[in-house]
Structure 1
Amino acid sequence: MISEPLKLRHREYQCGESTTGHQHPHPQLVYIHRGCGILGTAIGTQLVTNGELIWVPGKTEHSFEVLKNSRASLIYILQSPASMPDAIIKLEVTPVMIGLIDALGHRLDDNGSLKHSYQQVFLDQLGQLTQLDEPSLPLLDRRLLPIIGALSTEPGINLSLRELSKRYGPSERTLNRLFSQTFGCSFRFYRNQLVMSKARQWLAEGRSMTRIALDLGYQSLPAFSSAYHSYLRQREGNS
């Protein structure tokens, strides 16, 4: 029998579910199909949301708190590419990787040589993915958790602080203060950064600029294009 270089399983998470600190003997790749949550590590937390791919090295302690009902593919890498980092990091998602995850999870024989070939292609593609530089966040005030969850699963420039305040309870003034204390910026700035990050992700997946502009609430393609290129210039300036 051919030795498998990786194993994949799917898991459903319910809102409010959490896993305490734990680690795996082998590296793990997590693809979020839907939903979002907070990934906790020894140095901070990271927001992970639908469409994102996260690399978790073996023997690295981490926890997960679910903000919205979620579905994830958990891929345990038994033969890791030498180029992979030794820290938890997000990877840029490509249409090829999405297709490979789908094929490995649903379409191939458990012990067929075709599956082994797909696994080798998967590992080759994994080693070529761009690593995204997203710093860890400080521990979050729990009043922010449903707000961050809504921003992640309903990305758009029209989602207002007033609407979120009515929906989840804390006053607009309290939420603005929490965003300033936690992220060092206003709610509006943080929301727009999440919107642009989602746009970048969708573009990498092959969506059209027009569709992305409409999905994110922009009234015109030029307005979205101007905002997106301003975001890219800011990222380049900070790098």
Structure 2
Amino acid sequence: MPVSRHIPVAPTVLRRLAAGAGIDAHRHDDHQIVYAARGVVSVATGQGRWIAPANRAIWVPAGAVHEHRVHGRTDLHLVGLPVTANPLGLAGPAVLEVGPLLRELIIEYTRDPGGDPAERARLLAVLLDRLRYSPRQPVHLPTPRDPRLAAVCALLHADPADGRTLPELGARTGASERTLSRLFRAELHMTFPQWRTQLRLHHALILLAEGVPVTAVAHRCGWASASAFIDAFRRTFGHTPGAGR
């Protein structure tokens, strides 16, 4: 991560951002909820990247250096929370499920940050209560450290549709399949197929936010068919790519 700014108080605000806009690396003394009611938002830290469509939000813990990037025209809702307000006890960034009620609470809480304090306190209390029932989602793309593993991951970042096997990628980067398999589990805490699926889903969300048709997204991200992509997407995000739009 580049040199970051220190913004002690995490803002509570709605920001309407153009496609491709972002917020450079910074950190807060507060926790923060990052939610895109429209568009897709990603948050990057030194540990990896988290991405969320409109039925997910990203939890950023106090002190974490992070940067935001949006894909497609995005209504970005940011909710700052004191360090004492951590209903799920999360120590690191996480993607959380956002149901209809939590969605409306976040939107309303960020609509008028300077509103009546008593009303806002009531809203916040309900919002925190709903967060308590928001399960974490496995939508995380961890960053590799070992240069051999990083080289393999870079090849797939450049072309998510690259269908080469792990032995073939290892031959290209000078590492054995056994070594790479061990590194995927030790550093990224997932298997190679699991990491590649996460990568493809991340790229798919970005392409969908940019208006690319579902069939083209499936092809560009490496799925054998549109139906296979739709099935993988539904299992991860709870809805089809078309419904997400």
TM-score, L = length of structure 2: 0.59
> Which of 82, 86, 90 is the matching residue for 1:81?
86
Q: Partner of 2:86: helix, strand, or coil?
A: coil
Kindly tell me: are residues 149 and 191 of structure 1, through their superposed partners in 2, closer, same or farther at Cα, counting changes over 3 Å? farther
Q: Show the counterpart of 2:63.
A: 59
Tell me, in whole angstroms, the C-alpha distance in 1 between the residues paired with 2:40 and 2:215. Answer: 19
8 Å CA contact 2:31–2:80 kept in 1: the answer is yes
Please identify, of 91-100 and 22-31, the stretch whose mean Cα deviation from structure 2 is larger: 91-100
Structure 2 residue 207 is matched with structure 1 residue 150: yes
Tell me, in whole angstroms, the C-alpha distance in 1 between the residues paired with 2:234 and 2:64. Answer: 30
Measure how far apart 1:27 and its partner are.
0.4
Name stretches of at least 5 consecutive residues in structure 2 with no aligned partner: 1-9, 144-152, 161-201
8 Å CA contact 1:34–1:51 kept in 2: the answer is no
Tell me, in whole angstroms, the C-alpha distance in 1 between the residues paired with 2:133 and 2:95. Answer: 13
> Which of 117, 120, 145 is the matching residue for 1:115?
120
Q: Partner of 2:52: helix, strand, or coil?
A: strand
Kindly tell me: are residues 70 and 111 of structure 1, through their superposed partners in 2, closer, same or farther at Cα, counting changes over 3 Å? same
8 Å CA contact 1:12–1:71 kept in 2: the answer is yes
Q: Show the counterpart of 2:105.
A: 100
What's the CA shift string for 1:11-54, capped at 9, x where partnerless? 12222223332211110001111112432121222332233211
8 Å CA contact 2:13–2:111 kept in 1: the answer is no
Q: Partner of 2:141: helix, strand, or coil?
A: coil
> Which of 67, 73, 80 is the matching residue for 1:69?
73
Root-mean-square deviation (CA), in Å? 3.6
8 Å CA contact 2:50–2:95 kept in 1: the answer is no
Q: Partner of 1:136: helix, strand, or coil?
A: strand
Q: Show the counterpart of 2:54.
A: 50
Please identify, of 73-82 and 41-50, the stretch whose mean Cα deviation from structure 2 is larger: 41-50
Tell me, in whole angstroms, the C-alpha distance in 2 between the residues paired with 1:148 and 1:214. Answer: 11
Amino acid aligned to 1:71:
D
> Which of 22, 36, 40 is the matching residue for 2:26?
22
Q: Show the counterpart of 2:150.
A: none
Measure how far apart 1:108 and its partner are.
8.7
What's the CA shift string for 1:88-135, capped at 9, x where partnerless? 111111222122223323479723422212211222222232122233
Tell me, in whole angstroms, the C-alpha distance in 1 between the residues paired with 2:113 and 2:16. Answer: 21
Tell me, in whole angstroms, the C-alpha distance in 2 between the residues paired with 1:31 and 1:109. Answer: 19
8 Å CA contact 1:50–1:153 kept in 2: the answer is no
Measure how far apart 1:137 and its partner are.
4.9
Kindly tell me: are residues 98 and 8 of structure 1, through their superposed partners in 2, closer, same or farther at Cα, counting changes over 3 Å? same
Q: Show the counterpart of 1:125.
A: 130
8 Å CA contact 2:32–2:81 kept in 1: the answer is yes
Quote the sequence identity (%): 16
8 Å CA contact 2:58–2:95 kept in 1: the answer is yes
Q: Show the counterpart of 1:8.
A: 12
